[in-house]
Amino acid sequence: MKKLIDFLQKGTCAATVVREMEQRFQEAGFEKLSLSESWNLTEGGAYYVVIHETSCLAFRVGEGRRQAPFFRLVSAHTDQPGFRLKPEPELEKGHSSKLNVSVYGGPIYSTWLDRPLSLAGKVAVRSQHLFETDVRVVDLTRPLLVIPNLAIHMNREVNRGVELNPQVDMQPLAGLDLSEHFVREALGETLGVETEAILDYDLFTYNTDTPMTTGWNGEFLSSPRLDDLVMVSAAMEALIENTPQTGVTVLAALDHEEIGSRTPQGGGSAMVSLLLEKIAACLGLDRRAFMDALTGSFMLSADVAHAVHPNHSEAHDVKVYPILGGGPVIKLDAGQRYMTNAADYSVYRQICEREKVPVQTFISRADKVSGSTLGPVMCAYLPCRIVDIGTPILSMHSAREMMAWADYEYTRRSFCGFYKL
């Protein structure tokens, strides 16, 4: 429990998630590899590589590596919905200093109102070499911002539902009469560099609320960023704890899922496929052998799932819906917005059976379009067998989400079963 809570608190944006992953993999004895240098891999070895600061691929090499499936991969995402600062974001209105923001992904706007927020992300600092930017990961940690609600007296219809315009209603208040470049100044101070040396930054708002155990018997976890840090954390623990008997076990924690994954470090690029080919080549497989290995490999596309809402069961299918505490969820969709099919479904189901983990199923109502995630995007470059799964949660994309503690343990155990084969 403590490991997950710690991860949720420190993983405030994709860059800090990866920074925390690095810390944990280093503590567990994983060797850091460089993206663009040659690798010297050995059987029984454990490694990780950071991709453009916001994605991470970690893997273990088993002993009997030629047995299928060669790669057993869990994919999950490091980013979260929220708001991203625009360039020169400082705005003045009266004596109020505000920030100009863009929407990142699909946050539920209303849940971001009246919460103490901070900023985290990456900062590009002037460097000696033109193409070797000095990129620093930063988390300002203090509650610096609030997006204030409009009082009910000025908006009598508020409880009937209010449309929030992100350019008008979602600009965070930062302070009173702040300087013209207060963001750059804070970054310079935090990083210990001259303000002029800061060339650019990708900064995201995050909710500074702490994770909290709730429920009559302490059965729930209420926390920001459950989507998708719960899956990253469970897979990371499982990869650290389990040495594979055969093949290569991989965790790909990738950025930009919330905005479609089509970036160099996102699931929509060839990056993961190229890195898997590099692993195979370093282990002595030629390209043809790699292709055979890839098509016979297996991926769990791991992203949180929708548990049935206690006040809105009508939002789910009439018969098939997951519950909190019922174990990990296999996601199905007739339009293949989730990759799962019967043959691959049965593989994950049997892994869960072996680990004594209950398993559930999600499918949308026939009159609703289902969500989607990494599986359908990644199959473009990774034509392996794929199952979409996830821990059931409530309030997905709220600034604060909720899950059952039992499901974290069930999911973690299912990943252990998958990795230790």
Binding site residues, Zn ion, CB under 5 A:
227-228, 303
Q: State the minimum distance, in angstroms, from the CB of residue 228 to Zn ion.
A: 4
Q: State the minimum distance, in angstroms, from the CB of residue 44 to Zn ion.
A: 33
Q: State the minimum distance, in angstroms, from the CB of residue 375 to Zn ion.
A: 12
Q: State the minimum distance, in angstroms, from the CB of residue 279 to Zn ion.
A: 26
- Measured from the CB atom, is 121 or 390 closer to Zn ion? 390
Q: State the minimum distance, in angstroms, from the CB of residue 225 to Zn ion.
A: 10
Q: State the minimum distance, in angstroms, from the CB of residue 162 to Zn ion.
A: 26
Q: State the minimum distance, in angstroms, from the CB of residue 151 to Zn ion.
A: 34
Cα-only R_g, the chain = 22
* Structure tokens that stand for 161 in this block: 């539902």
**β-strand pairing of 392-394 with 173-176:** unpaired
- Measured from the CB atom, is 139 or 401 closer to Zn ion? 401
- Measured from the CB atom, is 135 or 229 closer to Zn ion? 229
- Measured from the CB atom, is 69 or 375 closer to Zn ion? 375
- Measured from the CB atom, is 97 or 223 closer to Zn ion? 223
Q: State the minimum distance, in angstroms, from the CB of residue 96 to Zn ion.
A: 34
- Measured from the CB atom, is 58 or 226 closer to Zn ion? 226
Judging by beta carbons within 10 Å of its beta carbon (0-12, 13-18, 19+), is residue 2 exposed, middle or buried?
exposed
* CA distance between the termini of the chain: 25
- Measured from the CB atom, is 47 or 112 closer to Zn ion? 112
- Measured from the CB atom, is 53 or 303 closer to Zn ion? 303
**HEC per residue, the chain:** CHHHHHHHHHCCCHHHHHHHHHHHHHHCCCEEECCCCCCCCCCCCEEEEEECCCEEEEEEECCECCCCCCEEEEEEECCCCEEEEEEEEEEEECCEEEEEEEEECCCCHHHHECCCEEEEEEEEECCCCCCCCEEEEEECCCCCEEECCCCHHHCCCHHHCCCCCHHHHCCCEEEECCCCCHHHHHHHHHHCCCHHHEEEEEEEEEECCCCEEECCCCCEEEECCHHHHHHHHHHHHHHHHCCCCECEEEEEEECCHHHCCCCCCCCCCCHHHHHHHHHHHHCCCCHHHHHHHHHCCEEEEECCEECCCCCCHHHCCCCCCCCCCCCCEEECCCCCCCCCCHHHHHHHHHHHHHCCCCCEEECCCCCCCCCCCHHHHHCCCCCCEEEEEECEEECCCCCCEEEEHHHHHHHHHHHHHHHCC
Q: State the minimum distance, in angstroms, from the CB of residue 34 to Zn ion.
A: 29
Q: State the minimum distance, in angstroms, from the CB of residue 199 to Zn ion.
A: 31
- Measured from the CB atom, is 228 or 407 closer to Zn ion? 228
- Measured from the CB atom, is 90 or 303 closer to Zn ion? 303
